[in-house]
Amino acid sequence: MLLCPVIGKLLHKRVVLASASPRRQEILSNAGLRFEVVPSKFKEKLDKASFATPYGYAMETAKQKALEVANRMHQTVGGLILEKPVDKQDAYRMLSRLSGREHSVFTGVAIVHCSSKDHQLDTTVSEFYEETKVKFSELSEELLWEYVHSGEPMDKAGGYGIQALGGMLVESIHGDFLNVVGFPLNHFCKQLVKLYYPPRPEDLRRSVKHDSIPAADTFEDLSDVEGGGSEPAQRDASSRDEKAEAGEAGQAAAEAECHRTRETLPPFPTRLLELIEGFMLSKALFTACKLKVFDLLKDEAPQKAVDIASKVDASACGTERLLDICAAMGLLEKTEQGYSNTETANVYLASDGEYSLHGFIMHNNDLTWNLFTYLEFAIREGTNQHHRALGKKVEDLFQDVYYQSPETRLRFMRAMHGMTKLTACQVATAFNLSHFSSACDVGGCTGALARELAREYPRMQVTVFDLPDIIELAAHFQPPGPQAGQIHFAAGDFFRDPLPSAELYVLCRILHDWPDDKVHKLLSRVADSCKPGAGLLLVETLLVETLLDEEKRVAQRTLMQSLNMLVQTEGKKRSLGEYQCLLEVHGFHQVQVVHLGGVLDAILATKVAP
């Protein structure tokens, strides 16, 4: 292991990463380093025109970031690669320039070695850069915008994340992959060896490469005092054999010490700690939304924490801490002028945005959060936990929980509206539905999907069918527009009342709420309303049938949704095979499936004559 001889020395030092990049933290943690994170306050506004090369700019920026933290903290490691897009248009322009071309990714790294003499900070800077050449495929405008709208480019320097979705854009790479991710680990390790394990004259005489792993027999000679070294030993020329034996013994001892260190220092559990503390981040986001912080900062100039605190009726110290963690999560920008929204916050977290998730977040804060405190009971009992959360027996899940008051009903509708808006366009275009002249969105809530169907298919008339209490409020979610004449609202209970006549029935995230007997009942009612050739469009999160799925993040979200169903509903997630069996029992065949991205899948089936 390249860092093995050095880690022992670093254990007794304060190692600081002067960057908030989670990718750099992960890379260094996986290398076995233990460090703290202190993001630099240095403003990355150096004049690029004054640098002869891109790597010169990168190295100087990294050095200034590291020195800024060193003056505060006394020891730093830091780095910078490329700049992040300021908005979606900037991301698109950046990626368009890269399309079909090879570009270089430069990372400048500055290592600041600190010591204190007479209460004065003394620093020694070692800096280097790494270049990796990346070639993009020829990318269509549609693909570029799809990637931009995924949100991934917005927090990625260079406008793409090669370790995530952005990897699909890359045709080839020449050089260090981790350098493109965010940190040149191999070069960094070699640089640490040079700093903490410089070659001795006798090593050079043996033609040992400068950046190779040093011989372990010299490791014991390293002084723990910064800038120090071992004193020259007084040895007689006649004792060369003894020296050789001592050298071999010293090497063996050093290797044993190194192995002991490795045994007692398992890889730092960064990912595990993120999971353990993840609920804190969620609650911080929920609280910021509840206080309307993102509404307050939308399209406004940066504001100071004390001013924001007075407007949300909260303490200045508490507000500042909340704002800081929101900035660390990439939801806010923090500058000398104050705090401001990121593009993500403006689009998704402000409550009045077209694609706002504010309602969904409040639903999770007010309902889901409390239910998950009873997760242990749900697992032991195999049933939802509304009775414990409410302190009373629940007869009707929706009437007693989601619709128990106008406030809870509106909260639920806002949550469903926000989530449906995110994927409505993908659902409407997953299949060619132009041959259907009418559709019924069963349990369509606010009509968000109905509006997208009407927009995509101008000949289609769409009926939103839901409970009377929902239909009463649904019209408030419908903005004016040419699609208004295509959309109709009908009140009723889809388990009891006749369904409106249609050529296409849509069940969007409905079946997963119910157990098998009620699913069969609902599908039977839909089948009875269909003529041969009619269609049934299901939108659900299909349960993965194996954990060997390549997209493990998707699998994780899907399985978490399955756990959520246990805690909240009477239903469950089902696999594609289970849905095919359910559909065939009720006369629906010719099943087609399209994965919509995220965790949703669309299933289209056709009613055939008995």
Q: Active-site residue numbers?
A: 512
Joined tokens for residue 151: 């949100």
Q: What angle do CA 438, 442, 448 make, to 5 degrees?
A: 80
Contact in structure between 68 and 40 (CB atoms under 8 Å): yes
Can you tell me the distance from the alpha carbon of 23 to that of 17, in angstroms, rounded to the nearest whole number? Answer: 12
3-state secondary structure of 535: strand
How far apart are the C-alpha atoms of 404 and 399, rounded to whole Å? 5
| 8 A C-beta contact, residue 447 and residue 478 | yes
Please tell me the distance from the alpha carbon of residue 438 to that of residue 16, in angstroms, as a whole number: 62
Angle between helices 576-585 and 516-529 (to 10 degrees): 50
For residue 413, give every residue at least 6 positions away whose Cβ sits within 8 Å of its Cβ, in sequence order, or none: 359, 445, 446, 470, 473, 474, 477
**In angstroms, what CA-CA distances link 326 with 20, 277, 282, 341, 354?**
13, 15, 10, 10, 22
The whole-angstrom separation of Cα 216 and Cα 377 is 55
Q: Is the dihedral of CA 435, 437, 440, 441 positive or negative?
A: positive
- Measured distance CA(179)–CA(254) in Å, rounded: 31
What is the arrangement of strands in the sheet containing 487-491, beginning at the earlier edge strand?
A: 487-491, 461-466, 438-442, 504-508, 535-540, 601-607, 588-595
Please say whether the beta carbons of 411 and 405 come within 8 A.
Answer: no
Phi, psi angle pair for 110, to nearest 5°: -120, 125
Tokens representing residue 554 in the block: 């998707």
Identify the burial level of 58 via C-beta atoms within 10 angstroms of its C-beta, where 0-12 means exposed, 13-18 middle and 19 or more buried. Answer: buried
